[in-house]
Amino acid sequence: MNYYYIPVILLVCFFFCDRAEAQTDFRLVTSTESFKNRMKEESDTLSSIESRFTQTKHIRLLSEKIVSSGTFSYQKPDKVCLDYQSPVKYRMILNGNTIRIDSDSKTNTFNAGSNRLMTQMSALLSACLTGNLDRLSSDYELTFKENEVQYWITVVPQGSAKAYMKCIDIFFDKKDFSVHQLKITEASDDYTEYIFSGQKKNVTFPDAKFSVK
C-alpha cells in the first residue's frame, strides 16, 4: 500500500457522533432482517440530506479535545460534502471515487478508485452516513443493538482496513432511521466523534456543491 494515502484515508473516515459508552440499556436486535428491511424502506425515500455537525477529536497525546463545526451535505448515490466553518474553513468533497480537499486556498484531488483500501473507505463512509449498510461487503462485521429510542450498529473491519480502523459506532433514531451520531475509533484507540443537528431531508443542491474539478 502507498502510505501517502493514509492521512487521506483517516480523514475520509473521521465524520460524525457521540460516545457509545454514554448510551445505556442497549440489547441485541432480535430480528436483523426486519431492521434491514425497514432501513431500506426509509433509504428509498431519501434523495439528499443537509445538517449541521460538531466534530470532536480525542487524541491521547493531546491534553485538549479538538472541536470543529460546519455543514454536512449528502446527495444520492455517492456525493458527500463536509464544509468546516469553525475554527478554520476547510472542505472535503467525496464524489464517486474522487475526493477533493480544499484547505488554505489550496485544492488537492485524489482518485480513490485506484487504491483498493481507499475504495473500501469511500464505500464505508457513504454507507455509514446514509444508513445504507447493505452496501458493505463481507470485509466488515456488523453488530446490531437497540434501546427504546435508538439503534446502535457497530461496524468492525475484517480486511485491510483493520490496520487503520478498530470500529465505527453508528446511532440511528428509531423514528425515521436518520443517522444522528457516529464514532470512529482508530487502531491506536484515538477516536473522532460527531453530532448532527437541524437535519433536513430531500434538499435540492446546486451542482457546484459536489464539484471535484
pLDDT, the chain, mean? 81
Q: Which of 7-21, 61-75, 186-200 has the lowest mean pLDDT?
A: 7-21
What is the rounded distance in angstroms from the CA atom of residue 156 to the CA atom of residue 34? 21
Above 90 in pLDDT, residue 43? no
Most confident of 100-104, 126-130, 131-135: 100-104
Question: Coil, strand or helix: which one is 67?
Answer: strand
Residue 129: predicted pLDDT:
61
- Answer positive or negative: Cα dihedral of 195, 199, 203, 206: negative
The domain 3-210 having CATH identifier 2.120.10.30: the answer here is no
Question: Across the strands, what pairs with 155?
Answer: 142, 168
Ranges of each domain in the chain: 3-210
Residue 128: predicted pLDDT:
67
Q: What is the pLDDT of residues 155-193, one digit of tens each?
A: 898 877 788 889 989 888 888 888 888 888 988 999 999
Q: Is 169 exposed, middle or buried (0-12, 13-18, 19+ CB in 10 A)?
A: buried
Residue bearing the bigger pLDDT, 102 or 15: 102
- Average of pLDDT values for 120-147? 74
Above 60 in pLDDT, residue 213? yes
Residue 126 binned pLDDT confidence (cut-offs 50, 70, 90):
low
Above 60 in pLDDT, residue 23? no
Residue 117 binned pLDDT confidence (cut-offs 50, 70, 90):
low
Most confident of 19-28, 47-56, 138-147, 167-176: 47-56
Most confident of 32-36, 101-105, 205-209: 205-209
Residue 105 binned pLDDT confidence (cut-offs 50, 70, 90):
confident
Above 90 in pLDDT, residue 205? yes
Q: What is the pLDDT of residues 31-42, one digit of tens each?
A: 888 888 888 788
Residue 3 binned pLDDT confidence (cut-offs 50, 70, 90):
very low
What is the rounded distance in angstroms from the CA atom of residue 139 to the CA atom of residue 128? 14
C-alpha cell at 146: 437497540
